[in-house]
Structure 1
Amino acid sequence: MSDLHIDSNQFGAFEIETLIQTLQDENIDHLHIAGDISNDFKNISQPFINQLCHHFPVSYNLGNHDMLGMSEEEIRQREIQIQQFGDRQLVSLSGWYDYSFVPEKSEEEHLKNKLLYWFDRRLERTESDPTITNHILSQLESVLQQTTSPILLSLHFVPHDDFILHHPYFERFNAFLGSRHFHTVFKKYPITDVIFGHTHHRFGSRMVEGIRYHARPLGYVREWELCKDFLKTFPSYRFKEDYHPYKRYRKIQHVPEFIEFKKKQLKKEFQDALTILDL
């Protein structure tokens, strides 16, 4: 799973219990979260992880939202982890971005947009985005060079052009989604599956040059499929701009029928955001 955003999504006891029950019903014996658990790792994410660990092992890699309030040293300490599952290894990392998805703009233009619009302007990173990405790629190569087992890889950021955004409004943010250089590195090693998030768009599973990519981020409530399904089930609440996630959610979030519908559909939403691998 990725992009749970449990603070923004206002996870309470019901949501957490439903998530745990969903995972148990799916016979999950190890949960890995590919970043963006919350905006406060110490006070929100860690207690949440501890709660889940009472039911099954949990591992994670950081997303950009998890890094809020962390020092560069704290981020780097969590950058790359390796776990063994039978004859396969799970290599997990946060990743980062280097603007390579939008090469036609200068680094200065990207930085200006980032400081105006992007969440990461709140982070205390000490180097430029391309420098951070190059450092991570180099570190990753060093790890992968020592690995002969089949590899599963999890990262938060987008590793290939196939998964960038094409809506005119969102295209300017592609620069901050990830780097095409991750896939270039992946191709050199025995990586079978890559799980990532960050875009809040569920691409499902897709094969790219021999690597199976999986992207099923949970995302914000306003983006969930159950919001669209609610309007199909209760068409009387439809309105002219209900295609717009923000406006749609503002319109229905306090409607009693929606509150009840959300409770009933929450398990399905969690299931749709799961990538399950049998190892």
Structure 2
Amino acid sequence: MANHFYQDTEPFLAALANEVTVTFNLGNHDMLDVAEADIETLDFKTYALNPSTTLLAFHGWYDYGFSEEMAGADYVAFKNRFWFDRRLKRPLTDPELTKEICQTLEKTLAALSDQTLIVAMHFVPHSIFTLKHPKVKAFNAFLGSPAFHDIFRRYGVKEVVFGHNHKRFSPQTIDGVTYQSRPLGYTKEWQLTRAFIQKNPPTTIRGNWTPNKAYHAIKDLATFKAYQTEHLATELRDAMIIFDIDDERTIP
């Protein structure tokens, strides 16, 4: 959503709630400047979708379990050098936080055992969705935890929606749990942005070409703004996941 929850996100959600029912959970960027008590208050929210179906929204966190690149203390040093979350003031270590979150998740799922659940979380719940390029594999440490999938599997959760890694995946079912991730992401990551760049390769880039450089070369062009306006609705639809609650099918 935004780096400043109280200043930017909360007013936006309030305005959006005038039009539709709004639920949300916090990602790491959303937690900037948010008191830990508020982070906890906004966590593990349930919403009845019909008498037998409940949406469970929780934040999640990470415990370095998706990476084998270094030792535990080295992850902390790496995080404090390169990762956004060094700016967050959380009360426990990352593994300790994740352990507490997993304990709460188990208690919550046990209490909802008579419900069909749709789980929405921010962080990554399975290693299949982690980063594969050797240059960025160390950052998998901060994506999520394999403990989440183990809990979902044991408690019979069938549908999980997540984000965090800014990559859209087709639905994948693992051990009976169907995972979907269709994040909107930053404008530079949008499909319409990539399509525009492919059709209109920028000629002003100096040095090595990168997607980030390409985006900054075209982002202020009138032609790109017009293209964005034309294709924005399609981009937003592609980032949606729609559930048919009556028969529990997902509409592609």
Match of 2:125 in 1: 159
Q: Is the 8 A contact 1:149 1:190 kept in 2?
A: no
Equivalent position amino acid for 1:71 in 2 = A
Poorly superposed stretches of 4+, deviation over 2 Å? 231-242
Match of 1:210 in 2: 176
Quick one: which of 76, 85, 105 aligns to 1:111? 76
Q: Looking at both structures, which has the greater relative contact order when contacts are Cα pairs under 8 Å and sequence separation is at least 6?
A: 1
Match of 1:60 in 2: 24
Within 2, Cα distance between the matches of 1:109 and 1:235?
40
Give the superposed CA RMSD.
1.5
Counterpart mapping for 1:135-150 below 5 A? 135-147=100-112, 148-150=114-116
Between the two proteins, the alignment pairs up a number of residues equal to 242
**Kindly, what percent of the aligned residue pairs are identical?**
37
1:136: how far off? 0.2
Within 2, Cα distance between the matches of 1:52 and 1:71?
23
Quick one: which of 74, 87, 91 aligns to 1:122? 87
Question: Which TM-score applies when normalising by structure 1?
Answer: 0.83
- Is residue 2:59 matched to residue 1:94? yes
Equivalent position amino acid for 1:215 in 2 = S
Higher deviation after alignment, 136-145 or 200-209: 200-209
1:273: how far off? 0.8
Unaligned runs of 5+ in 1: 1-36
Q: Is the 8 A contact 1:201 1:217 kept in 2?
A: yes
Match of 1:179 in 2: 145
1:205: how far off? 1.2
Unaligned runs of 5+ in 2: 246-252
Quick one: which of 63, 83, 102 aligns to 2:47? 83
1:185-227 residue CA offsets vs partner (Å, 9 max, x unmatched):
0001131110000000111211111111000111111111111
Question: Which TM-score applies when normalising by structure 2?
Answer: 0.92
- Is residue 2:224 matched to residue 1:269? no
Within 2, Cα distance between the matches of 1:212 and 1:241?
39
